[in-house]
Chain A
Amino acid sequence: MPSYIELPAYEIVKRIKDQELMAEDYIASLYERIKKVEKDIHAYITLTEDLALKKAREIDKKVKQREKTGRLCGVGIAIKDNICTRGIRTTCASHMLEDFVPPYDATVISRIKDEDGVIMGKANMDEFAMGSSTEFSYFGPTHNPWDLGRVPGGSSGGSAAAVASGMATLALGSDTGGSIRCPASFCSVVGLKPTYGLVSRFGLIAYANSLEQIGPITKDVRDCALLLSCIASHDPLDNTSVDRPQEDYTKYLIDDVDGMKLGVVKEFFGEGTQDSVEKGVLEAITKLEELGSDHQEISLKSLQYALPSYYIIAMSEASSNLARYDGLRYGYRIPNKSYDWSTVYSKNRRFGFGFEVKRRIILGTFALSTGYYDEYYLKAQKIRTLIKRDFDMAFKKFDVLIGPTMPILPFKIGEKVQDPLKMYMCDVDSVPANLAGIPSISIPCGFSKGLPIGFQIMAPPFREDLLLRVAFSFQKNFPVSAKLRSYE
């Protein structure tokens, strides 16, 4: 096994640009790795080997001819399968979109192509990003690279597992209520959910538009800053994208937290938090203190309502977003029979959607109905406002807030699929950042009984610099070793 599948992206870029490494050889070695371990892990729904190798050869040619190359020069990237890729099927892990080939690229995909990134394939996920374990995929679950009997987290489980198992150097995920950070935590990689509006959502197949962002899933913090720099920029195609100058986030990779004030969120250590997780995160906090930062506990009372508020808003938006999948213009369609249109619609949706998706559509439809709207949707929005306010107050006292990413260690495949409430409870620590629209990063902080623990850092809107600084300092001084396994 050539060692460069273990290298971070910035090393790969340097070697390819310096002609020490052929992009083609490196990409081929990633596919070799895929051939070895994909059968055990199942991180991908679609692989694009021919396209990737072709692109790699183009890059090698560019390098050789001393043409300008991008910041992701030759790096193999896994793309979550809810991000549209022109000419490459984009399924959302759903039977409904099993054969859907978008005629357009998501804005982030155009950016990656501009930076000479190489798309490895489309990563597995929970259907329509609805889930926390990647078990709700029409194409079957992804397995955690650290324990194949366990889930990789979700919904971007394929993306995180691909990076953690050396089947991609970088990955893109999307995070609606923790879908980047949860699998990052469960797979011991770095995952960042940017501030709402920082990264264009054009081409991201919507689950809950007001909450979600595309973000990087990477081996380390430097790669995270690199990929974020490539994808974060204003996009006129996304009305919610914020018009601000483009940044090079790698300049915030500063090993210095001296005097920084960290707020430890009390509610993140509530009932349901496993001791091993609590212990791991508290140790990380102590380590950060060793580096000169101060920490103090803070309570954000409104967070006790974050989970129900999140699920009501997400499901309400989802019920409307997913209405377009009726099988008329694209997507799954029952064999042609003479039914009236409404029967055709119900049948297409009945067979095209999986169980969890249907559950959320029905709950969301209910929450928006006359007579219940005020009770549910409006109330959830009010709580959202309160949560934002609580975060604003907290950030007056603290530079960043920290806590566990997930209250629990990766659980066993099949353990929670029958109990949606237990599954939803996993998101208790990740949804607040989505409701408040603030940036949040999950970084590995160790293992417990061979299972990864991640901890979460949150910052005020558009202060990704602070997240990267704290995360980088931690990673530099207390690296968590994570050797690739062979699965043989």
Chain B
Amino acid sequence: MSKIKSVEIKIGLEVHCQLTNLKTKLFCSCSSDYREKEPNTLICPICMGMPGTLPVLNEKALEDAIMVAIALNSKISERMLFFRKNYFYPDMPKNFQISQYDKAGGVPLALGGYIQINGKKVRIRRIQLEEDPGKLSYEGTIESSTYALVDYNRAGIALIEIVTEPDMETPKEARLFLEKLRSILEHLGISNGSLEGSMRCDANISLRGGKRVEIKNISSFKEVERALNFEITRQKSLIERGIAVGQETRHWDEVRRITISLRTKEEEQDYRYFPEPDLVPVIISKDQIKKIEQSMPELPDERRKRFIEQYHLSPQTAEILTHSKAMADFFEESAKLYDKPREISNWLTVEFLSYLHDRGIEIDELTLSPKHLVDMLKLIDEGIISRKMARSVLQDMLLTGKMPDAIVKEKGLEKILDREYVRRIVEKIFKENPQAVKDAIVDKKAINYLMGQLMKATEGKIDPKMAGEIIRERLSKLSKFATS
């Protein structure tokens, strides 16, 4: 198998993010809180595209989108246009989508920009505002179902589409990009990435400068990585067999974990883009941008820098913590309650992260609060539990959400602090192991055996420092007798 170096892989992403903090849809005043709602209850003549109705732009959506453009270092258009993207599909009430376009005289919200991931810049091509279509559901699968149901509650929800240049070279980079983007959107407070379907993405990938393959229907960041890995393997094997990779659109089948061809280049739809005549060009003034810029909350990159300065964290640690807003928030909440930030960051970046990663969840999905972690750290400080015990306490906390002192009590994990009690056990061990005691008197290293016995007898609940002290104390008494 010939090796394809990572530099020969080019990955670009097209990300659709719902502006989930908006109260209403993009072009009408219907509620945008559509999740878990009775189908077709959050609709009106406008988002249903009924005859004679007209769209009116949600100003807040525009502000949010401008905020994203500023955060992604993009150039915001002074005069942006909406375009119609025409195609028939039952989830679209008007059979066209109000979107934006960067060709045929179209001017999207913003052009250019970048996101930095681990010091590398991934360039943004454009950012645009558009409406979400409705949702189709099938009985069973799309192939076997004899009918489809349409729910238009989602139709008209505000989306921003972010298109990158093909600057990513590995599937992992693509995932990191998406995570960073999510962190930025969450820091801006405009999108909650943990809501189902709030961030969706299409990926395109080409190998060795070959033809571009687009992969659609990817539901999560993890799936992006999987789909791209599959596609790399598929394309590599084609290349090895001397088969050219054709330009096409493929569909990611999450269940079978394969991509399936949807259509080739020749079958691509003609969307007949043209300017939306019902919406006048939107003029975005420098003042408006400035105003929004001034009201912007702290962004992940700024926060990372602050973490390094304020908490004296290493750049790597600060990067990991700010990669997710929930994680960064958890850290700062904890740091407010407990003034050893590096201790907190150690636990978060090691123990917490591996637990979260294994389960593919975010820290705010845990039943655990910063107080849990801080209380546990205080128990260590007070010598009540050892670090080693703390790990098992943490696992229990993660699973049950119980407070650490309760877990410690329940499981009898407290360290033995009573020196007299320990002395009595030592006395017993010395009696049972006379030879070992003799050895220890002459050879200091032989003390380890006695230590081991003590730990075993106390089930490790004893502070090793104290254990050593008491054994040596006893030995020194014996040696006095021996020499006298």
Q: Which residues of A contact B (CB under 8 A)?
A: 82-84, 90, 92, 97, 100, 102-104, 106, 201-206, 208-210, 236-240, 316-317, 319-320, 323-324, 326, 328-330, 338, 341-342, 345, 365, 368-370, 373-374, 377-378
Q: Which of A103, A239, A320, A374 contacts B272 (CB 8 A)?
A: A320
Binary contact readout B72-105 vs A (1 if CB under 8 angstroms, 0 otherwise): 0000000000001010101001111000000011
Can you list 5 A-B pairs with a CB-CB distance of less than 8 A? A84-B52, A202-B53, A210-B277, A317-B277, A341-B148
A323/B52 contact (C-beta < 8 A), A239-B57, A373-B274, A378-B105 known: no
- Taking a contact as CB atoms under 8 Å apart, the answer to whether B52 and A203 are in contact is yes
Residue in contact with B51 in the complex, picked from A84, A365, A374, CB distance below 8 Å: A84
Q: Are the C-beta atoms of A320 and B274 separated by less than 8 Å?
A: yes
A interface footprint on B258-286 (CB within 8 Å = 1, 0 otherwise): 00000000000010111001111000000
A238 touches B51 (CB 8 A): no
Specify which chain B residues have a CB less than 8 angstroms from the CB of A342 in the assembled complex.
Answer: 88
**Interface hit among B15-23, B42-50, B176-184:** B42-50
B45→A377 contact, CB < 8 A: no
Given A203-B52, A342-B88, A103–B95 Cβ distance below 8 Å?
Answer: no
In B275-322, which residues have CB < 8 Å from any A CB? 277-280
Q: Report the bound CA distance from A103 to B148 in whole Å.
A: 26
Q: Which residues of B sit under 8 angstroms from A374, Cβ to Cβ?
A: 104
Q: Is the CB of A103 within 8 A of B45?
A: yes
A369 to B57, CA, bound (A): 27
A92 with B51: CB separation less than 8 A: yes
What is the CA–CA distance of A338 and B274 in the complex, to the nearest angstrom? 34
**Nearest Cβ on chain B to A368's Cβ, whole angstroms:** 4
Residues on B with C-beta less than 8 A from A317 are 274, 277
A residues less than 8 Å from B272 (CB atoms): 319-320, 365, 368-370, 373
Known: A102-B51, A316-B274, A329-B48. A323 touches B86 (CB 8 A): yes
How many whole Å from A372's CB to the nearest CB in chain B? Answer: 10
Q: How far is it, in angstroms, between the C-alpha of A316 and the C-alpha of B90 when the chains are bound?
A: 22
- With a CB–CB cut-off of 8 A, which chain B residues contact A206? 51-52, 278
**Neighbouring A residues of B49 by C-beta, 8 Å:** 324
User: What are the 7 A-B residue pairs with the smallest beta carbon separation, nearest first?
Assistant: A323-B95, A368-B272, A210-B277, A209-B277, A205-B51, A203-B52, A84-B52
Which residues 4-57 of B sit at the A interface, judged by CB distance below 8 A? 45, 48-57
Query: Hey, which chain B residues are within 8 Å of A323, CB to CB?
Result: 86, 88, 94-96
B-side interface residues toward A, CB under 8 Å? 45, 48-57, 84, 86, 88, 90, 93-96, 104-105, 146, 148, 150, 270, 272-274, 277-280
User: Closest CB of chain A to B143's CB: distance in Å?
Assistant: 12
Taking the closest CB of chain A, its distance from the CB of B142, in whole angstroms, is 12
Could you say which residues of chain B place their CB within 8 Å of the CB of A369?
270, 272
Cβ contacts under 8 Å, B279 to chain A: 239-240
Q: Which residues of A contact B50 (CB under 8 A)?
A: 102, 104, 329-330
Q: Which residue of A lies closest to B150 (CB)?
A: A328
Which listed residue (B48, B55, B96, B273) contacts A239, Cβ 8 A? Answer: B55
CA distance A317 to B274 in the complex (A): 9
Contact status B54-A377, CB under 8 Å:
no
Contact between B45 and A345 (Cβ–Cβ < 8 Å)? no
Q: Give the secondary structure class of A's interface.
A: loop
A338: B residues at CB distance < 8 A? 146
- A209's closest neighbor in chain B, by CB? B277
Contact call B280/A104, Cβ cutoff below 8 A: no
**CB-CB nearest in chain B for A377:** B274
**A240 near B274: Cβ-Cβ < 8 Å:** no
Given contacts A100-B51, A202-B53, A239-B55, contact A320 B86 (CB under 8 A): yes
Chain B residues lying within 8 Å of A90, measured Cβ to Cβ, are: 51-52
**13 additional A-B residue pairs with CB within 8 Å, beyond A104-B45, A240-B280:** A100-B51, A103-B45, A203-B52, A203-B53, A204-B52, A206-B52, A206-B278, A240-B279, A319-B272, A323-B88, A323-B95, A326-B95, A378-B105
CA distance A236 to B56 in the complex (A): 8
Closest residue of chain B to A203 (Cβ to Cβ) is: B52
- Name the residue of chain A whose CB is nearest to the CB of B57: A239
Distance between Cα atoms of A328 and B53 in the complex (Å): 17
User: A240 with B52: in contact, given A323-B86, A370-B270 (CB under 8 Å)?
Assistant: no
Which A residues touch B95, using CB under 8 A? 323-324, 326
CB distance from A451 to the nearest CB of B (A): 34
A202 to B55, CA, bound (A): 9
Residues of B within 8 A of A84 (CB): 51-52
**CB < 8 Å: which of A102, A239, A330, A345 contacts B278?**
A239
Q: Are B274 and A202 in contact (CB under 8 A)?
A: no
Report the minimal beta-carbon distance from B45 to chain A, rounded to whole angstroms.
6
CA distance A378 to B273 in the complex (A): 12
With contacts A102-B51, A320-B272, A326-B95 taken as known, whether A378 is within 8 angstroms of B104 at the C-beta atoms is yes
With a cutoff of 8 Å between Cβ atoms, the chain A residues found around residue B96 in the complex are: 320, 323
**Chain B residues within 8 Å of A83, by CB:** 52
Q: A209-B278, A345-B88, A373-B104 are in contact. Are A201 and B54 (CB under 8 A)?
A: yes
Interface contact B54-A237, CB-CB below 8 Å? yes
**Contacting pair B56 A239 (CB below 8 A):** yes
What is the bound-complex CA distance between A345 and B280, given in angstroms?
31
Measured CB to CB, the closest approach of chain B to A96, in angstroms, equals 10
Contact B274 A341 (CB under 8 A): no
Q: Tell me the bound Cα distance from A206 to B55 in angstroms.
A: 13
| Least CB distance, A240 to chain B, in whole angstroms | 6
Name the residue in A208, A239, A373 with the highest tally of chain B Cβ atoms < 10 Å from its Cβ. Answer: A239
Q: Which of A202, A236, A341 contacts B52 (CB 8 A)?
A: A202
Least CB separation from A349: chain B residue: B88
Alpha-carbon distance between A184 and B279 when the two chains are bound, in angstroms:
30
Closest to B46 in A: A237
CA distance A371 to B274 in the complex (A): 13
Closest CB in chain B relative to A98 CB, distance in Å: 13
Shortest B277–chain A CB gap in Å is 4
Q: List residues of chain B with CB within 8 A of the CB of A345.
A: 88
- Is A202 a contact of B54 with CB atoms below 8 Å? yes
- Please give the distance in Å from A106's CB to the nearest CB on chain B: 6
B84, A320: Cβ atoms closer than 8 Å: yes
